[in-house]
Homo-oligomer: A and B are copies of this chain.
Amino acid sequence: MMNQGYDRDMTTTPEAREFVSLLKSLRAVRQFADRPLPPEAIRDMHDVIRWSGSASNRQEFQVLWVEDRAKLRQLSELKGYARHLAGAAAGAVIVTWMQSDVLNAFDEGRIAERIMLAAHAYGIGSSIGMLSRESRGAAQEILGLSEDRTVRTTISLGYPAEGALRGGRRKPLTELVKRLQV
């Protein structure tokens, strides 16, 4: 049970290919349909959060799960890039409290990715939001957090609105991955 996934064959399996194709097809969704998230998808997202890796496995983070529309709107109006929270079916706010802001940010990136991928498995769209440092105090107040908590990363979640999916553009592979020549 603990080691599941490591006992598969080393050659390409259909499951591996399907998994990789899901990993590749995640795109930011910023407009959401007015449609609730099914409880089993929410439960799975929470479970995935629990099993996410973190710096030295310390798990110095907490995810606040916000479904209240008024709170979502309040957060969306803060300075930063999280306006899409206003239309989301749910918002996940990642709270961290390690000394190093770089370590916090690294863990936030990891957790954000897992949440979005778990959502994606259910066809639920997502987008990362960032609250700017000036609005941290206001965010702490809205969320009932003490001053030593870092609130920066949010995830907007919801089924994609009609037309919300746009094709992604990416740099060519040769620019992004470089095999080191000896």
Contact = CB atoms under 8 A, between A and B. Distances in A.
Interface of A: 2-12, 15-29, 35, 38, 40-41, 44, 46-51, 53, 57, 59, 61-68, 70-71, 101-103, 105-110, 112-114, 116-118, 120-123, 125, 128, 143-144, 152-153, 159-160, 165-173, 175-180, 182
A139 to B, nearest CB: 12
9 contacts: A5-B121, A10-B38, A10-B159, A11-B40, A26-B53, A28-B53, A50-B176, A53-B113, A110-B113
A2 B153 contact: no
Contact of A143 (B47, B171, B180): B180
A128 B48 CA distance: 18
A21 B160 CA distance: 24
Given A6-B29, A62-B178, A109-B112, 13 more contacts: A8-B122, A8-B123, A12-B38, A12-B40, A20-B121, A23-B121, A50-B171, A57-B169, A59-B176, A63-B178, A68-B182, A106-B106, A106-B108
Contact of A47 (B6, B20, B107, B128): B20
